[in-house]
Amino acid sequence: MNTVSQTPIKVHIQEASMRSLMLQLKEKFGGSFENKHLYTVNNEHLEGYIWILSISNGMEITLNSLNFKKHFQIVMSGESKEFARLCFRFEQKGAVMQGIKNNVGEALGLSGNMVVYDTRLNFTMDLIPNTHNQWLGIRLGQNALGFEHVSFTDYFGDVFNQNNIWWKHEIMPLEIQVQLNEAYKLMEQDLPLPVFNNRLVARGADCISLFYEKLLTRTAHKEHSLHQHDFTYMMDLKNNLLSSTERPPSLEDLSKEYGFSVSKLRRDFEQVFGTSIHKFHFNFRLEKARTLLATENKSILEISRECGFSSSTKFTEAFKKKFDITPKMVSQKYKHLH
């Protein structure tokens, strides 16, 4: 079982391009660059690798696999408006984007978050020792957002000319988890560099397109200003919600716990997560069930109970309503992943 030290080691990192972040990581934790794409490290502090590919000016994709051996808190200092970029992060294992109030990780089965934020954001990553963290990251500079195949600004506006930090979160669907599995399998294959890199780009492009699809199908909510401290309490709230499949506390109880009015709590949550707190938790349970159906050799009854449903009949009804497919059909479709 993972243990967390009483006094975490704080490490300060300045947001920047991914190549700059890797240089900072090497300076703080050691390691070496095997070539222009691959950074590796294996010492008493950190073990793992980062593969980086610069697709074009202002576009970077990374495949990350890191295991911090001590309790670290990475304090990220945001960029200025002039240099800020968008960062997409798709978590395969661990919970590198968690807040600092609650410690969550692999043992709770909470991998499977995806987030996009602009790098003006200041935040702290609380890293549980000996937890394997894997994520695919994509960074887009402001000049890259106007590229025709990105088309970000056309749909989401000029997020860098807003006072508030742009930050959106979604529960990762099974389709993206499949893409991440395929991406990490690439590291196990002896592929020519052009083949490897293009397959990695394909996996990353599919992840972003599916994330776009999720964001564009959200119910519209009026945008309002979210401040730096809102990020911390939102991450803590999200971690609390995902730590259990039991029904979450009422809005009134949550507002008392976090010290905000019910209206602010509801408004902030819907802006970041695109839905209500209880709907978010319900969707999490269904997505978790869909992943288990695709990857575990368990009965539908076992999975429905594991995901907090007291009745397998009600579970099947809710599942089919959301995904337009039955749990049995999902299990059969992804049988090769069991």
- Give the CATH number of the domain where residue 276 resides: 1.10.10.60
Residue 69 and residue 197 in one domain: yes
Q: Tell me the CATH number at 122.
A: 2.60.120.10
Residue 167 and residue 294 in one domain: no
Q: Which residue has the tokens 């349970």?
A: 285
Residue 276 and residue 167 in one domain: no
Which pLDDT value is given to residue 21? 97
Q: How many domains does the chain have?
A: 2
Which pLDDT value is given to residue 165? 81
Which pLDDT value is given to residue 260? 86
Is the CB of residue 237 less than 8 Å from the CB of residue 251?
no
Tell me if 182 is assigned to some domain: yes
Residue 133 and residue 254 in one domain: no
Tell me if 227 is assigned to some domain: no
Q: For residue 281, give every residue at least 6 positions away whose Cβ sits within 8 Å of its Cβ, in sequence order, or none.
A: 241, 242, 247, 248
Low-confidence ranges of the chain (pLDDT < 70): 1-6, 95-112, 148-150, 219-226, 228, 336-338
Which pLDDT value is given to residue 120? 92
Tell me if 209 is assigned to some domain: yes
Which pLDDT value is given to residue 258? 87
Q: pTM for this one?
A: 0.81
Tell me if 1 is assigned to some domain: no
Pairing of β 72-77 and β 46-56: unpaired
Residue 34 and residue 163 in one domain: yes
Provide the angle, in degrees to the nearest 10, between the axes of the packed helices 262-273 and 277-295. Answer: 40
Which pLDDT value is given to residue 1? 42
Which pLDDT value is given to residue 99? 47
Provide the angle, in degrees to the nearest 10, between the axes of the packed helices 262-273 and 251-258. Answer: 100
Tell me if 190 is assigned to some domain: yes
Angle at 109 between CA 327 and CA 183, to 5 degrees: 80
Which pLDDT value is given to residue 104? 39
User: Final residue of a domain: which of 216, 231, 264?
Assistant: 216
**Cα–Cα distance between 207 and 178 in angstroms, integer?**
10
Mind listing the pLDDT tens digit for each residue in 231-244? Answer: 778 878 888 888 88
Tell me if 233 is assigned to some domain: no
Q: Which residue has the tokens 């991406």?
A: 183
**Cα–Cα distance between 95 and 135 in angstroms, integer?**
9
Residue 258 and residue 185 in one domain: no
- SS3 state at 89: strand
Residue 267 and residue 207 in one domain: no
Structural domain containing residue 313:
244-337
Residue 129 and residue 210 in one domain: yes
Enter the tokens of residue 119.
């790098």
Q: For residue 146, give every residue at least 6 positions away whose Cβ sits within 8 Å of its Cβ, in sequence order, or none.
A: 152, 153
**Cα–Cα distance between 171 and 95 in angstroms, integer?**
12
Which pLDDT value is given to residue 163? 74
Which pLDDT value is given to residue 337? 66
Residue 212 and residue 253 in one domain: no
Which pLDDT value is given to residue 219? 67
CA 125 distance to own-chain centroid: 12
Which pLDDT value is given to residue 100? 40
What are the percentages of helix, strand and coil residues in the chain, rounded to 5?
45, 20, 35
Which pLDDT value is given to residue 157? 80
Tell me if 41 is assigned to some domain: yes
Residue 189 and residue 306 in one domain: no
Residue 267 and residue 188 in one domain: no
Instruction: Tell me the CA distances in angstroms from 64 to 41, 84, 134, 177, one per residue in order.
Output: 12, 21, 5, 15
Q: Which residue has the tokens 């090769």?
A: 336
Residue 130 and residue 260 in one domain: no
Tell me if 73 is assigned to some domain: yes
